[in-house]
Structure 1
């Protein structure tokens, strides 16, 4: 790709962008603020503002408890069905419930109990650490009958595909990975690894938190068993919004939810003292859904469905390639390294740049340059490309401001201690 470093070129690309009008659907109060962290927390859609007003004033304020029969009770399935259309699943294979970690715990324990006689869990060291904490806790709860094999990445960027395949054998109960890696943005070939795991008799669980709403996912085509994902990144569901889980239809009534609760009971208003699981995926609900935060997921999902994930992916790839070319021309000579894959087929929708002064550069970018990225130790500055609202101008200006920080040594104003949230 031939790239011009001029701002005029970036603005020309924006003028040609067929997705550009979706930016107007988000609340953007400060036009000078460049937001490059939609891979961590998505922007607020205007439709969500309207939804929240109706939810509080009308549904809760006027309709009161009647709203349970007017959409609240079925929201986990209704919104789950919409998410299913973004990840290549059937409408009855996705439901919204709990947090990403709780959903992962439920599916991991269910899978391990189902895989009688198999004792190994395989993952990699690129997986989100919280996922590994859940795996460790599940092993402890199941009386340490399972072992966790964490396969290392050679370079900290690319998934160790060959080594993962080599670990799959007759003792493997579960292979679980992040489809798009949270630091580097490396994206696994879902179908190929799922097939390899199935050949060994293992179940597969994918974490889609950095994929859903950003890259095309086809769970059914890959014959995926289980998946989980969050809704507050590319789905723009709001901070701490409930997550979703996927179970392939033929497994739903063969797996047992380890956190049985009222909402997963077959006849929840029969108030029987003995638990009987509800049919289908609803058996993997546990407690009463948080209606307010759950409902606010829907407008962001609707926006993605309207835009079309294939169109958004095409823009994302064009923008990430543009960013990589700008890095090569402007930032590599200043000591920045590329810590994301160059090959598009293995790249999600965020780009990581490394620098020896990464933390302090990140702080200068936020406090002096009016750019919001995020930082992941030891040296990763993550730049999230969210094609619903990220512009080419945003990318160009981010690179120029990074350059300015290093050339003028603005980062020297900042301490080496990281704030609580980076």
Structure 2
């Protein structure tokens, strides 16, 4: 075995990793299981078990309904500000936590479209790429049908992603809103968000970014980009747990202009007035609808504190090192078996995961799961390796790629 793929090299990379001390803070990270699916569901933090116990016994059990007045009511905004500062490059008062990604996508796309049509009835197109995450495409199609508008599709290479040039070619006087993912869920392609946002604005459109596969792994600078809107989940690289609430970003300049379509009591100017008419709250709170999941926000707070402690630049550096190492190992160990790297090779254009393609990858994934090696599978023929920077080691990455080689050899 070459020096490139040796255990000694993986050990030396781990020894030089400035974030290595954080790994023991995740449940199960020191076991023999190889976890390549942190971009679908992150490992829990050990401290979150203590936080949840304390919350149930002391806040929920001890304070009961008083908890709403003592902090829970403000939590979607306070956690939103923490998330915005630590991971989104967003100033205070622009991020709120609550609902699912799908619901928040609906709210913001619909609000953006309605605003644009009110301002200019000719702007009746929503632009989205053909390889965006299914939820994004489904929501966009549903809203277009509901509002009598059209969808303009950008056809993209599944191993690459949307470019500035493609966006410029797609937008124009009919563009209302453009919905794109910062990191492509299939290939890991990292979009030129500031360049694309500028192109959308030049055409008079609004830019909405899906940050599900970038937040917590790739630095985001929403305010600096001039982004209008964004959504993202918190159970991937933010380790909030299965079904943890999503977040929405609405740039301050748009908060009073947009009418969110799901009017609920939590977004009312005075929720406890219980009056006959709906009056939206001032600021980001108006984008809330129903009662937020206070319990489900607790683990997210722990991970935001850890990301803040480590720093997003250091997290990104580790992510680049891990994915680059995975690409090197794939080339050295798997190319002879016909495996192709279906992610950008330029680390500057790659997010936090790497996709490997081979006709047998669906069966490979199933066999690996039985051996406690956990990647995920994405059509067509893609084995996706999600490498969470704070909980994944280089030695773990090497063990996983060796296991892929062994299963492919057995199948052949």
Shared fold, TM over 0.5:
yes
CA distance in 1, matches of 2:323, 2:394: 10
Q: Provide the residue aligned with 2:392 in structure 1.
A: 390
Q: Provide the residue aligned with 1:402 in structure 2.
A: 404
The structure that is helix-richer by fraction is 2
Superposed CA offset, 1:285-336 (max 9, x none): 0001122112332111111111111001001111111111111111111111
CA distance in 1, matches of 2:234, 2:115: 28
Q: Provide the residue aligned with 1:127 in structure 2.
A: 132
CA distance in 1, matches of 2:48, 2:77: 19
> TM-score, normalised on structure 1?
0.94
Q: Provide the residue aligned with 1:63 in structure 2.
A: 63
* Coordinate RMSD, CA, aligned: 1.3
> TM-score, normalised on structure 2?
0.96
Unaligned residue ranges in structure 2 (runs of 5+)? none
- Which among 140, 145, 150 is matched to residue 140 of structure 1? 145
CA distance in 2, matches of 1:180, 1:197: 18
1:156 deviates by 4.0
CA distance in 2, matches of 1:57, 1:3: 53
User: 1:351 aligned to 2:337?
Assistant: no
Q: Provide the residue aligned with 2:95 in structure 1.
A: 94
Superposed CA offset, 1:55-108 (max 9, x none): 111111111111112221111011100110111101211000100000000001
Q: Which portions of structure 1, spanning 4 or more consecutive aligned residues, are displaced by more than 3 angstroms? A: none
CA distance in 1, matches of 2:368, 2:240: 26
Q: Contact 1:152–1:160 (CA<8 Å) still a contact in 2?
A: no
* 1:153/1:241 CA distance change after superposition, 3 Å: same
CA distance in 1, matches of 2:111, 2:162: 26
* 1:154/1:389 CA distance change after superposition, 3 Å: closer
Unaligned residue ranges in structure 1 (runs of 5+)? 413-422
Between the two proteins, the alignment pairs up a number of residues equal to 406
Matches within 5 A, 1:20-31: 20-28=20-28, 31=31
Q: Provide the residue aligned with 1:222 in structure 2.
A: 225
Superposed CA offset, 1:9-63 (max 9, x none): 1011111111001111111176110111110000000121111101111111111
1:155 deviates by 4.8
Superposed CA offset, 1:343-399 (max 9, x none): 11110000000011010011111113x211111112110101111010000111111
Q: Contact 1:124–1:160 (CA<8 Å) still a contact in 2?
A: no
CA distance in 1, matches of 2:13, 2:384: 23
* 1:160/1:189 CA distance change after superposition, 3 Å: closer
